[in-house]
A and B are shown apart, each in its own frame.
Chain A
Amino acid sequence: GAVVSQHPSRVICKSGTSVKIECRSLDFQATTMFWYRQFPKQSLMLMATSNEGSKATYEQGVEKDKFLINHASLTLSTLTVTSAHPEDSSFYICSANGWTDYEQYFGPGTRLTVT
């Protein structure tokens, strides 16, 4: 199946700093990618839809100035958590539609810990 990678897999940062997470589609082009956040023992919550060549669309309640999304190419989307706080500590996962138009392939996730 289609492969999506994420980097880094784990990151620890200090409060007030910014962290960039990369999501890459390795063997297909993705005009649209999705960013999710998952707190421990909870479900995945869609944060935003990343569109290649245009602005991301954010879900209600997600601050676009705090979670900056850039979809620079057909294989790369980045999520930057700006001025991170401990409450931003979570598991961030990206996904993209692969060969079909409905099956979503998820990246391995990035575990962010803000101290």
Chain B
Amino acid sequence: GQQVMQIPQYQHVQEGEDFTTYCNSSTTLSNIQWYKQRPGGHPVFLIQLVKSGEVKKQKRLTFQFGEAKKNSSLHITATQTTDVGTYFCASDSWGKLQFGAGTQVVVTP
């Protein structure tokens, strides 16, 4: 499968600040998906990016897919305590997901 590397592994954020998590692959990806997993919970689908250079926004979340389709990023503005959790990127190959290591986000009030 197409492996994806994700950084940083941990992110401590002050409430109200912005942060970005990055996902990189050595090979061209057909698409990239992002999931959020709350502590003790299961992954929840956030978005899928397919097109080169694609940018999608969901309220305070901005997702980007690189021009070469080898990297992706998730940027969250004005972090809130509800943003706590682990954010995973995943490459999709015929429905089989290869997850990145995830970025665990801790928000301090």
Contact = CB atoms under 8 A, between A and B. Distances in A.
A74 to B, nearest CB: 16
Contacts of A95: 43, 97
B43 A93 contact: yes
Chain A interface secondary structure, helix, strand, loop or mixed? strand
B43 A44 contact: yes
A32 interface: yes
Contacts of B95: 32, 34, 49, 97, 101-102, 104
B48 interface: yes
Given A34-B97, A97-B95, A108 B41 contact: yes
A46 B43 CA distance: 13
A34 B96 contact: yes
A107 to B, nearest CB: 6
A49 to B, nearest CB: 6
Interface string B79-109: 0000000001000100111111110100000
B78 interface: no
A32 B94 CA distance: 11
Contacts of A46: 1, 96-98
